[in-house]
Amino acid sequence: MTRQKKTRKIGPVGTRSTPKQEREKKLVENPKKPLKHKGLPPGSRFSHKQGSNQHGQQAGAQPKDPRHGSKKPIALILPKQSSKPEQPNLTPAEELALLENDERLQDFLDALDDGEELHAEDQAWVDQQLARFQQLVEILGLDLDDEEEYDGGELL
């Protein structure tokens, strides 16, 4: 047998190349490969998707809040506290003794005796305390004209 020399020509044994027309048809049908999606779509975590029924949610149900942690509302303003501390229920005699021993009231009464004028708020407070003093005296039935009999809450 005679030896045959190898050639570069593709003969019946080689693979067939696709004609140009068929290649152009494939390009028109699939212009690009579909992109692979990684992660969630861009956007705010607080935006709600309209009309989506994800994770088996019913149409009327509230969408789940994406934020972590407690959703309990926190009061930003403290509730007002009364300026006066609540005093326990005192008997009229005890309350009268407290009013007589009140140093602030005594200072204001001394200032009024000296002829000084008090601030409007202080004057209103003094008037309120004196009115309460009069009420307590009437409740207890004490006579203020006879000061010798009454001495600091005890009758002599």
52-96: pLDDT as tens digits = 555 554 555 677 777 788 888 888 888 777 666 666 688 888 888
Nearest to 104, CA basis, from 128, 74, 134, 86:
128
Helix (H, G, I), strand (E, B) or coil at 135: helix
Task: Report the first-to-last Cα separation within the chain, whole angstroms.
Answer: 157
- In total, how many domains does the chain have? 1
- Summarised one tens digit per residue, pLDDT across range 136-146 is 888 888 777 65
Q: Is residue 83 part of a domain?
A: no
Average pLDDT over residues 98-119: 90
pLDDT at 51: 52
Q: Is residue 43 part of a domain?
A: no
Q: Is residue 105 part of a domain?
A: yes
Nearest to 90, CA basis, from 151, 132, 145, 126:
132
Region of 136 on the Ramachandran plot (φ > 0 left; ψ -120 to 50 alpha; else beta): alpha
| pLDDT, the chain, mean | 76
Backbone angles phi, psi at 36, to 5 degrees: -85, 135
10 has a pLDDT exceeding 50: yes
Backbone angles phi, psi at 58, to 5 degrees: -80, 160
pLDDT at 156: 44
12 has a pLDDT exceeding 60: yes
* 54: DSSP letter: G
Gap between the Cα atoms of 122 and 3, Å rounded: 130
Q: Is residue 54 part of a domain?
A: no
* Domain span including residue 113: 92-155
Model pTM score: 0.39
Q: Is residue 132 part of a domain?
A: yes
pLDDT at 129: 93
